[in-house]
Each structure stands twice: as structure tokens, then as C-alpha cells.
Structure 1
């Protein structure tokens, strides 16, 4: 009995330490998950902006005979009508900086994954200044999107997987569905055709 009374405070200290350690672990895990969610949200928005433009132009080029010059004008118009908020980049960079304190390797891998839109804009500016033809500029941008977009998809899926398996499943489904043209775009295409901006391809 005396031994138990002597050991009781020690047992209490041990249990208290275990509970404190468990609480700290759970808090750190929740904070990591929250930081990943912040970065994932902004990276998804960036990806949606890039892939949305690509889906629209792929559908337009399949359906209409669009000159390269008109293609660049339309692309610029669409980007101006639905610009990517610069705050998205700031929030993403801040989230990655926070993530670096929790998972430095993951943060290193995801750093600068949000720069693709700015990269494409810079490439367009350089190619135009270099005097390349409109056809060449369109081809270069298309090639860059096709080669770089899959890497962005991989980063999004990896980040979603670090959040949870359920989030990863939802993100993969979102990416798959985002490659399909929304039905409402048909109305826009028809309006463009009616005002004479675009001509239907002879094969269709």
C-alpha cells in the first residue's frame, strides 16, 4: 500500500507526459494537414485557370478554323476576362513556407509549381519581341502547356495524397473531369460563329 502511494505521483507524471505528448502530436498533425489544405486549394485554382484555357482552345481548334493571330487575341481576351488573382500566388508561397517547417522535402518539391502561368506569359512576350510568327508563338505555347501541365497535375495529386486518401481520390476525379469541355461553351461558340468571328471547319 505504501509502495502504491509512493508510485502514484510518478504514475500521474508519466500519464500526464504521455497525454501532453499525444496532444502535441495531434496538434502538429492537424496543423500540417491545415497547411497542406491551404496550399492545395491555391494550387488547384492555378491549375484550373491553366487547364480551363487549354480545354477551351483545344475545343475551338477542333471545331473552328482559327488563324494564329486570332487565336492569340482570343487567348488574351479570355485571360483578361478571367484573370488569375495575384493573391493566389502569395497565399500559395506563404503556405509552402509554413509547410517547409513541417515537411521540408515536400515543400522543396512543391516550391514554384505555381509559376506556370507567369512562365507562359513571359515566353509569349519573349517570342513576340523576337519577331516570331503568330503560328510559331501558338505552337510554342501549346507545346509548353502539353509538356508542363502533367507535372502540375502530379504535384496537385501528391499534395492531395499528403492531405488524405479521400482528398486524393476527389482531386484525381476533378482533374479527370476538368479535361472535358463544359456544355455551356457550345453557346459561346455559336455566338462567335453568328457574329462572324470564327468559321466552321470544312471537315465538320
Structure 2
């Protein structure tokens, strides 16, 4: 992957460059699924965290859990979840927006004072389209898309996943970028496009 291709992953629709990684260990929690699906999601998150060379923990001292995944059948179910409106003050308008767009998924991030990710919220409405996606694929997709703040257009035309021997896996080039972003010498937050040059220099020969 060349530097300009890397830059596209973090250049937003308004042409600004922003690459942000987690600044603290990730503590996931999943609501609205059975134990089997819960295990799949936590396994996928752990696999991507290990790939990045980042850390997980049992609890976040500030938030308890900081990567929250919510499953529902209807967006209005979100309004009935205890205390969610306190974590997300704009929950009501957000639910209305998601209903109007007939969306089936939404991701929201929170950042610390330095701009690093401190929390992520993933909302999944299990409509007919998502119901056709296996738990493994859905879990890996969400894990990849929450390990970094990617551009809002990064995977609009191509999924970060690929199918190899009938198994869904993370694309090798995307995996290389994740590893590069989490290189200890790289910053938690970067707003200068020259950052993409530094990432490209760290990509493996097949990245």
C-alpha cells in the first residue's frame, strides 16, 4: 500500500486528515446477545487488539467499560436502556436520525483531552440485511472499525475484510496499517497528512 492509499484511509469527506488510536486499554461489553455471540464478539475484539499490539483490561477506571456494543431490533429500544441517555445526551435525536435513515449500524467515539480514543459505542439494528451476516463476520468488522478512527469514507467502496478458503479474515493490507498506527513511536493522534508517509514506511512488503 502506497502512502497516498494510506492517506485515503484517514482523509475525511471534508478533506481533513485525522488518524486517532486508543489511548487506554480497551474494556468491551456487549448488550442484547446470547452467550455464544458474546464470546464471538469479545474474541474478535481481542484478536484485533493483539494484532495492534494494544491492551485490554477488566475495567476502565473512568467508565467501567469503554467499548460498548448494543444489539436491537428497533432503534427505539435504545431509549429504554438504563443510563444510556446519561452517557449519550443526544440519544433521542440520534435515534430519530437513525430511524429516518433506515440505518442498521452506527458507531460513535469519545476522545480524551489529547484527542485519543477513550470510548466507542456501536449500535447494531438486526434488520434482514444484518441477519444474513454471520456473527464471526459482523464481530470482526466492528472490531476493525473501532480499533482506529478511520475516515468516514475509508470502507465505503471496499470492505476491510476478505474471504479466504470460505473464511472471513481481515485484509492483510488493513492489518498492516493497524499495526503501523499502533507502533509505539507513532502518536496517538495525527492531523498532518505527512503522518501517512510515516505509516507507509512501516508497512511490510505485502502491506
Q: Under TM normalisation by the shorter chain, which class is it? A: under 0.3
Structure with more helix by fraction: 1
Select the structure of larger CA radius of gyration. 1
Structure with more strand by fraction: 2
Question: Structure 2-normalised TM-score?
Answer: 0.23
Question: Structure 1-normalised TM-score?
Answer: 0.23
